[in-house]
């Protein structure tokens, strides 16, 4: 039997060979990174990593080490992803050298990341912005307060229609609600952000006051049906519980609900909507400010095709998923603490093809032109199973 020194000498000799092989592997990893950068291919390929692990487990003569060899290659590939992230982040370094006023943006698509330039001066001459709903909606209000009341607009029936309109170049930007201070995030919009791969370029907070509207002369005693968006019903639940006999009928949004009852012209039908819609559709306000939270705000995001980095940007939004094992999310969140990134929000959404696994939408403070922030984001990306940068923009008050 070998003594301890002999065993350690053998380990040292094996480690020396491992270092030589590791160096050769990292050279190959660097070549892969250059190819991905040139061809706009994302860093992470989950299927490829799973194949690597299974293939190398099959090389084992002693199957007792299967778990350990899987963990070994998980660590090796995590190191490789981090190295590739550093290589691919060169495009961000190039961006930092370009003056913002020249209109250069970081264009990150579902297929990778690349630097591209557009002329803002020309695009602003004929700006057209899409929103979901009809005139008088809170979305239109957010649009006008962000872009100005003279901005050309196009309204759509559904949230996804706004994304399709942007995809088909019908509009330059879209405005969509993302979160309400009383009822939380709007899950459909989160899912559409991931599906279409567009970017958040700005946000606007709107104070929301809900009112019960009806045609002229309608009283509380007349009402049989109330139309509105489900979120408006939730935000007005304290008021509505006093009228259990009313039938609550979900409709596209608050403004379209007001338009509908105006057209129906029935004293039995009402809508929960805004004061502006009461004026626009010549409706009576039967009961004002019926939302239970008097400090009720909705946050709207502005989406565009390109990621536009400016010095004043102070908020970053990302989507990620983590390996389905103990401590994965904790480790990701720990990187925020270690790198002094102030997290503003985290929202989870289920992965449709994997039970009990989730995407996490995370907002935090920072600017990607800051080297420390950029490095921290690269680290978080390298430790994620899936990662996408949603935007770096100016936080609204």
Exactly one of 113, 218, 270, 298 is catalytic; which is it? Answer: 298
Handedness of CA 234, 235, 240, 241 (dihedral sign): positive
The C-alpha atoms of residue 126 and residue 173 are separated, in whole angstroms, by 12
How buried is 129 (Cβ within 10 angstroms: 0-12 exposed, 13-18 middle, 19+ buried)? buried
The C-alpha atoms of residue 32 and residue 245 are separated, in whole angstroms, by 66
Provide the token pair at 282: 């010549």
Beta strands 211-214 and 152-156 are unpaired
Give Cα separations from 96 to 59, 185, 237, 369 (angstroms). Answer: 46, 33, 49, 6
The C-alpha atoms of residue 166 and residue 170 are separated, in whole angstroms, by 6
Question: Which residues, in sequence order, are CB contacts of 106 under 8 Å at separation 6+?
Answer: 91, 92, 95, 113, 114, 115, 116, 306, 307, 308, 309, 368
Exactly one of 199, 300, 359, 364 is catalytic; which is it? Answer: 300
Can you say how many angstroms the Cα of residue 213 is from the centroid of all Cα atoms in its chain?
34
Identify which of 118, 171, 116, 123 has the alpha carbon closest to the alpha carbon of residue 143.
Answer: 171
Q: Is 298 a catalytic residue?
A: yes
Query: Which residues are known to be catalytic?
Result: 298, 300
């Amino acid at each position: 039997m070998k003594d301890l020194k002999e065993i350690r000498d053998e380990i040292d000799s094996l480690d020396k060979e491992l270092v030589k092989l590791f160096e050769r592997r990292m050279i190959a990893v660097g070549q892969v990174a250059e190819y991905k950068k040139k061809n706009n291919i994302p860093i992470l390929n989950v299927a490829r990593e799973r194949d690597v692990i299974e293939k190398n487990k099959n090389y084992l003569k002693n199957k007792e080490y299967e778990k350990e060899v899987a963990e070994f290659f998980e660590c090796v590939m995590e190191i490789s992803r981090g190295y590739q992230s550093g290589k691919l982040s060169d495009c961000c370094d190039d961006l930092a050298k370009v003056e913002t006023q020249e209109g250069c943006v970081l264009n990150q698509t579902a297929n990778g990341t690349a630097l591209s330039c557009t002329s803002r001066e020309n695009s602003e001459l004929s700006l057209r912005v899409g929103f979901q709903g009809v005139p008088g909606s809170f979305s239109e209000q957010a649009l006008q307060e962000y872009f100005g009341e003279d901005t050309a607009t196009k309204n759509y029936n559904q949230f996804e229609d706004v994304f399709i309109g942007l995809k088909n170049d019908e509009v330059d930007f879209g405005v969509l609600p993302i979160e309400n201070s009383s009822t939380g995030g709007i899950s459909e919009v989160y899912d559409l952000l991931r599906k279409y791969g567009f970017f958040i370029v700005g946000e606007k907070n709107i104070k929301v006051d809900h009112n019960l509207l009806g045609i002229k002369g309608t009283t509380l005693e007349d009402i049989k049906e109330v139309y509105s968006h489900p979120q408006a019903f939730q935000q007005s639940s304290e008021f509505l519980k006093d009228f259990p006999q009313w039938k609550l009928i979900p409709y596209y949004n608050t403004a379209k609900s007001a338009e509908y009852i105006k057209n129906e012209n029935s004293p039995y039908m009402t809508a929960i909507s805004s004061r502006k819609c009461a004026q626009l559709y010549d409706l009576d306000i039967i009961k004002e400010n019926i939302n239970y939270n008097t400090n009720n705000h909705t946050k709207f995001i502005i989406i565009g095709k390109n990621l536009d980095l400016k010095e004043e940007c102070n908020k970053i939004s990302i989507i990620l998923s983590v390996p389905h094992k103990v401590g994965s999310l904790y480790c990701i969140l720990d990187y925020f603490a270690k790198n002094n990134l102030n997290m503003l929000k985290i929202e989870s959404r289920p992965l449709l093809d994997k039970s009990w696994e989730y995407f996490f939408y995370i907002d935090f403070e920072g600017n990607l032109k800051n080297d420390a922030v950029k490095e921290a984001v690269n680290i978080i990306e390298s430790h994620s199973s899936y990662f996408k940068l949603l935007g770096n923009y100016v936080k609204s008050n």
